[in-house]
């Protein structure tokens, strides 16, 4: 069974670059879906020592913030969002978080699929959850971040929100007035990038203030890592040209991660647009400049084969990748094994996928990968062993309170095949 964790990102690609990241593309205030004129029954966790949430409409919220001379913290969530639930049950109930946020903000929870939510999602261009918004009493964004935060991380975001130097609304006003101050441009571009807003124009204006020889400075290296995402930009080309000099000052893994991130992003865009030349250009740069024995470039090719549903090529490249790079991540091994179960029919290749799935189980004995082993064994017509793994998967699921209906259906199919023999 193929499963994905939804936190902020979403795939684990290589030893060079791994992150959790996955986000749902899915936003006024009636959380209950009842009469919007009535206060929504938003969760109040005051008794737990955590954040106290305001009850009422958006206009009432802004009026409260104006009267109390406080900023607004808005938790933009959905009912189906796992990380949102983790924030509510863990981060928001933390005593220190409660003290800080109750003292500095009017706090508000908003289901983005009910009541006023969808309209607010459009207004603030919210496409992933949780989105954590910090607003002034006019409803202008002063700070925003996406994804799950532990209590300490969340407190840091709150401190940024109340720091005038990090206030997005004030920075936007200065920028719109024509300021060319490098410090302002850099800080504004960083804040836009960190809050998942368009930052390219501001970043470009910042880099225009920097001499090429200064791009290797610590401050500019941090800026390049966060703000550069074009193969042809002066900054990225300088990084490639002077990589040896960068490696003398900064960790090579950090540098390779940045090169991979840009190449992967450009390659993915080229796949979607059908631009073969741009795709090949990104692939060539990954092979030439990333010191990982071709691992990152191999992953880009695997991703391309999967995106184009070229399963024959996908199978060949994955088999070569595993043989060459020997991945040892349970989730990754399970994911490719499940891809083979769904899209590959060659018995020899399926047998290799079975070995990966069993390796995944050896690394992490869980429901999801025992289910994958059972499914592959069933496809290979090894019914007795398939039944053993399927029953094991169901047992693990029951112990952990996980859903196992798909595996139970598989058991019925296995038993039917065994009875027919």
pLDDT of residue 415 exceeding 80: yes
Confidence tier at 20 by pLDDT (50, 70, 90): very low
Is residue 421 very low, low, confident or very high in pLDDT (cuts 50, 70, 90)? confident
What's the whole-model pTM score?
0.69
Of 44-53, 107-116, 308-317, the one with minimum mean pLDDT is 44-53
pLDDT band at 8 (very low <50, low <70, confident <90, very high): very low
Average pLDDT over residues 378-404: 96
What are φ and ψ of residue 419, in 5° steps?
Answer: -70, -30
Q: What angle do CA 141, 119, 44 make, to 5 degrees?
A: 70
Q: How far apart are CA 374 and CA 387, in angstroms?
A: 7
> Is residue 360 very low, low, confident or very high in pLDDT (cuts 50, 70, 90)?
very high
Average pLDDT, the chain: 88
pLDDT at res. 194: 83
How far does CA 157 lie from the centroid of its chain?
18
Q: Are 141 and 195 in contact (CB under 8 A)?
A: yes
Per-residue pLDDT at 398 exceeds 90: yes
- The predicted structure's pLDDT at residue 151: 96
Alpha-carbon gap, residue 405 to 402, rounded angstroms: 9
Domain 1-162 part of CATH 3.40.50.2000? no
Length of the chain: 421
Helix (H) or strand (E) holding 110: strand 105-111
Query: How many CB atoms are located within 10 Å of the residue 132 CB?
Result: 24
More confident residue, 36 or 371: 371
pLDDT score for 168: 86
The matching CATH number, chosen from 3.40.50.300, 1.25.40.10, 2.102.10.10, 3.40.50.1370, for 313-421 is 1.25.40.10
Residue 42 has pLDDT above 50, yes or no: no
- How far is it, in rounded angstroms, from Cα 262 to Cα 42? 41
The reported pLDDT for the residue numbered 181 is: 95
- What are the structure tokens assigned to 416, written together? 């039917």
Range scoring the smallest mean pLDDT among 11-20, 24-33, 149-158, 373-382: 24-33
- Cα distances from 257 to residues 17, 57, 100, 262, 400, in angstroms, run 5, 44, 35, 9, 36
- How high is the pLDDT of residue 121? 95
User: Which sequence spans correspond to the domains of the chain?
Assistant: 1-162, 313-421
Q: What is the pLDDT of residue 123?
A: 95
Mean pLDDT lowest among 96-110, 151-165, 246-260: 151-165
- Better-predicted residue by pLDDT, 14 or 172: 172
Q: What is the pLDDT of residue 45?
A: 36
* Burial of residue 152 (number of CB atoms within 10 Å: 0-12, 13-18, 19+): exposed
* Residue 32 pLDDT: 27
Place 165 in a pLDDT band, splitting at 50, 70 and 90: confident
Flag whether pLDDT at 213 surpasses 80. Answer: yes
pLDDT of 277 above 80: yes
Residues 308-337: tens digit of each pLDDT: 999 999 999 999 999 999 999 999 999 999
Strand partners, 85: none
49-71 confidence digits (pLDDT tens):
799 999 999 999 999 999 999 99
- Note the pLDDT of residue 167: 83
């Amino acid at each position: 069974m193929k499963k994905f964790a939804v936190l902020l990102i979403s795939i684990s690609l290589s030893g060079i670059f791994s992150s959790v990241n996955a986000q749902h593309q899915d936003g006024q205030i009636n959380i209950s879906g009842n009469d919007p004129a009535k206060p929504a029954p938003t969760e109040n966790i005051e008794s737990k020592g955590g954040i106290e949430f305001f009850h009422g409409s958006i206009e009432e919220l802004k009026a409260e913030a104006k009267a109390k001379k406080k900023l607004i913290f808005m938790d933009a969530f959905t009912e189906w969002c796992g990380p949102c639930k983790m924030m509510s049950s863990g981060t928001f109930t933390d005593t220190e978080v409660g003290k800080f946020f109750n003292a500095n903000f009017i706090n508000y929870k908003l289901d983005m699929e009910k009541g006023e939510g969808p309209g607010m999602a459009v207004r603030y261009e919210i496409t992933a959850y949780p989105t954590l918004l910090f607003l002034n009493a006019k409803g202008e964004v002063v700070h925003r971040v996406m994804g799950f935060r532990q209590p300490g991380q969340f407190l840091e975001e709150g401190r940024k929100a109340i720091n005038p130097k990090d206030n997005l609304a004030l920075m936007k006003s200065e920028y719109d007035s024509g300021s060319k101050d490098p410090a302002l441009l850099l800080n504004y571009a960083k804040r836009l990038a960190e809050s998942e807003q368009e930052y390219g124009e501001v970043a470009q204006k910042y880099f225009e203030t920097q001499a090429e020889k200064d791009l290797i400075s610590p401050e500019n290296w941090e800026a390049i890592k966060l703000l550069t995402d074009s193969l042809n930009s002066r900054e990225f080309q300088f990084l490639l040209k002077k990589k040896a000099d960068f490696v003398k000052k900064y960790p090579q893994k950090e540098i390779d991660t940045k090169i991979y991130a840009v190449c992967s992003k450009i390659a993915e865009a080229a796949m979607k647009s059908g631009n073969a030349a741009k795709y090949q250009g990104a692939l060539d740069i990954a092979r030439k400049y990333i010191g990982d024995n071709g691992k990152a470039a191999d992953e880009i090719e695997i991703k391309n084969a999967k995106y184009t549903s070229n399963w024959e090529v996908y199978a060949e490249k994955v088999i070569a990748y595993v043989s060459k790079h020997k991945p040892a991540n349970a989730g990754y091994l399970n994911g490719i094994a499940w891809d083979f179960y769904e899209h590959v029919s060659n018995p020899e290749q399926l047998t290799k996928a079975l070995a990966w799935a069993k390796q995944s189980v050896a690394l992490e004995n869980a429901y999801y990968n025992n289910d994958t082993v059972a499914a592959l064994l069933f496809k290979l017509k090894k019914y007795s062993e398939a039944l053993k793994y399927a029953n094991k998967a169901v047992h693990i699921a029951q112990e952990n309170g996980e859903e196992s209906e798909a595996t139970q259906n598989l058991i019925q199919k296995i038993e039917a095949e065994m009875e027919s023999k």
